[in-house]
A = this chain, B = another copy of it.
Amino acid sequence: MHSQARSKKAVVVGAGPVGCLAAMMLAKRGWQVFLYEGREDLRQPSTKAAAQQRSINLAISHRGIAAIHAVSPEAAERFMQTVIPMKGRMIHHLDGRLDSQLYDRDGQCINSIDRALLNEGLLDEVSRSPNVRMFFRHKIRFIDFNRKVLTAEDLGHGQEHTVDFDFCVGADGSYSTVRRQMMKVVRMDYQQEYIKHEYVELKMPAGHDTPGRPTFQLDPNHLHIWPRRSYMLIALPNKDNTFTCTLFAPSVELDRLSPPEVFLPWFKSNFPDALKAIGEKNLIHDYTHNPRSPLICTKSNPYHYKDRGILLGDAAHSMVPFYGQGLNCGLEDVRVLKVLLDQEEVESNSPTGPDNLEDERLARALLRYSQERHQDLVAISDFAMNNYVEMRHLVTTPLYLFRKVLDGWLYRLSSHSTLPVTSLTTKLTSQTYDEREPRGWLPLYTMVTFRPDISYDTARRTASRQTQILTTATYVGATILCVSGLWLARTVKTWIR
């Protein structure tokens, strides 16, 4: 119990997964939490269909799970019941060949989950907390961070009312209102960039080998990829035996492919097996009805304002989806903030001091969050961008495969073994969130995906050091080969004489 914050009020804007977890975390620390969401409650039957229409599948991995676990171990356990584990990538070559590339030598998996399902689960968890009040269909219009008051509009009744707060969390996504309002009082560096590619979602229905018993049309324990150099298709499994497929392609290419009579033959020649599983009719329906969505990358710095505001998740940093880390990173934001709040409490001598001491502690934790988290967020955002090239092309090149083998081989040699997520979460309840010097050889993908005890920034530095070692080793190896070759040639020449 954190009695000193009992009467203070936090407003969390955005009831997506990150906003829900932040609300839970603050409520557990004794804050009175008001959670605002512009859309309707996802769990209402009337909105379910609409929500699923827009839904995108997510790959949640150790970081996301560890973050939920840090706030509520029970929630993490319940959550794990709803996912489908994927142990590797399944590469679909143009000639029909399939190629399974495992994510981890010890069998660690990433997990496919429907975004709406995850969100509903977390909303249920939030509902269990007596400290949280939820307001759906409420839009935040204006925030005065200095007077600590905001204006919210009840979209149902078209009425505006003011709400005072002590602390405001912006978890309202890429086009965050909280960020825009915070920029009026904070000199914030900010950038947004639309990459020149877009995506369209397509549904692959369940198969029906035996009537009445739906089956998966592809192996459900893989993330399927059809890499085609400048574009790609991916597929993630759902609990109802369907797959959600996503086509990524350059905008100009999609412009060209706009008429169905151009699109269909193009799709057929590039993804023949996928077309067979999706069906021509479904494909054309989805392609003409589903929106072409943009891919935006945003970066901000700093993320906080004094002792009263912070941006988490996509509101602070939205990344392209190619490392499957967007949501994991957003949930981890909440865990990192929690760790820093805990640390400031421990380091402060008087845990139940007067109000201004509390505010100072909060201000210090938020400042540290901006300072310590920034490099992590830049690192994962860059990884995500680079991974697009890897997924849609490199995975099929010999050099990539050779490096992957070498990487895996060195990893196997090293004494390290990946901890299963259950042991990891226990380890992470300790106060730290970054092991600055990971021991042994670790592939980048492993660090990013399966090691939440290693920060993204540490992962970047470690991977860059390992790449240098590999490069040097290659040079030394090549030199030794050359010298021995020359020596051999000379010896042979002497013999011949």
Q: How many copies does the complex hold?
A: 2
B190 to A191, Cβ gap below 8 A? yes
Q: Does residue A261 face the partner (Cβ distance < 8 Å to B)?
A: no
Give A194's nearest chain B residue, CB to CB: B187
Q: Does residue A240 face the partner (Cβ distance < 8 Å to B)?
A: no
A189→B296 CA distance, assembly (Å): 9
CB distance from A38 to the nearest CB of B (A): 15
Q: Does residue A193 face the partner (Cβ distance < 8 Å to B)?
A: yes
Give A192's nearest chain B residue, CB to CB: B190
Contacting A192 at CB < 8 Å: which of B180, B189, B193, B296?
B189
Give A190's nearest chain B residue, CB to CB: B192
Give A187's nearest chain B residue, CB to CB: B194
Residues of chain B contacted by A294 (CB below 8 angstroms): 187
Q: Which chain A residues (155-209) contact chain B, with CB distance < 8 Å?
A: 180, 187-194
Contact with B along A350-384 (1 / 0, CB 8 A): 00000000000000000000000000000000000
CB distance from A254 to the nearest CB of B (A): 14
Give A295's nearest chain B residue, CB to CB: B187
Q: Which chain A residues (464-487) contact chain B, with CB distance < 8 Å?
A: none
Residues of chain B contacted by A296 (CB below 8 angstroms): 187
A180→B294 CA distance, assembly (Å): 18
A192 to B194, Cβ gap below 8 A? no
A194→B301 CA distance, assembly (Å): 10
A311→B189 CA distance, assembly (Å): 21
Residues of chain B contacted by A193 (CB below 8 angstroms): 189, 191
Chain A binding surface SS class: strand
Residues of chain B contacted by A191 (CB below 8 angstroms): 189-193
The CB with the most chain B CB atoms within 10 A, among A188, A191, A294, is that of A191
A193→B299 CA distance, assembly (Å): 11
Q: Which chain A residues (277-309) contact chain B, with CB distance < 8 Å?
A: 294, 296
A188→B194 CA distance, assembly (Å): 7
CB distance from A132 to the nearest CB of B (A): 31
CB distance from A168 to the nearest CB of B (A): 20
Residues of chain B contacted by A192 (CB below 8 angstroms): 188-191
Residues of chain B contacted by A194 (CB below 8 angstroms): 187-189
Residues of chain B contacted by A189 (CB below 8 angstroms): 191-194
Residues of chain B contacted by A188 (CB below 8 angstroms): 192, 194
CB distance from A175 to the nearest CB of B (A): 8
A192→B190 CA distance, assembly (Å): 5
Contact with B along A76-95 (1 / 0, CB 8 A): 00000000000000000000
A191→B191 CA distance, assembly (Å): 4
A189→B195 CA distance, assembly (Å): 9
Give A297's nearest chain B residue, CB to CB: B189
A276→B130 CA distance, assembly (Å): 68
A192→B187 CA distance, assembly (Å): 10
Q: Which chain A residues (191-235) contact chain B, with CB distance < 8 Å?
A: 191-194
Give A251's nearest chain B residue, CB to CB: B187
A294→B184 CA distance, assembly (Å): 13
Residues of chain B contacted by A187 (CB below 8 angstroms): 194, 294, 296
Residues of chain B contacted by A180 (CB below 8 angstroms): 180
A7→B496 CA distance, assembly (Å): 98
A296→B296 CA distance, assembly (Å): 23
Give A299's nearest chain B residue, CB to CB: B191
A296→B294 CA distance, assembly (Å): 28
A192→B192 CA distance, assembly (Å): 9
CB distance from A238 to the nearest CB of B (A): 30
Give A193's nearest chain B residue, CB to CB: B189
A52→B194 CA distance, assembly (Å): 41
A190→B189 CA distance, assembly (Å): 11
A193→B189 CA distance, assembly (Å): 5
CB distance from A153 to the nearest CB of B (A): 14
CB distance from A353 to the nearest CB of B (A): 27
CB distance from A304 to the nearest CB of B (A): 15
CB distance from A316 to the nearest CB of B (A): 15
A194→B302 CA distance, assembly (Å): 11
CB distance from A465 to the nearest CB of B (A): 29
10 A-B contact pairs sorted by A residue (CB < 8 Å): A180-B180, A187-B194, A187-B296, A188-B194, A189-B191, A189-B192, A189-B193, A190-B190, A190-B191, A191-B193
Known: A180-B180, A190-B191. 10 other contacts (CB 8 A): A187-B194, A187-B296, A188-B194, A189-B192, A189-B193, A189-B194, A190-B192, A191-B191, A191-B192, A191-B193
5 tightest A-B CB contacts, nearest first: A191-B191, A187-B194, A189-B193, A190-B192, A187-B294
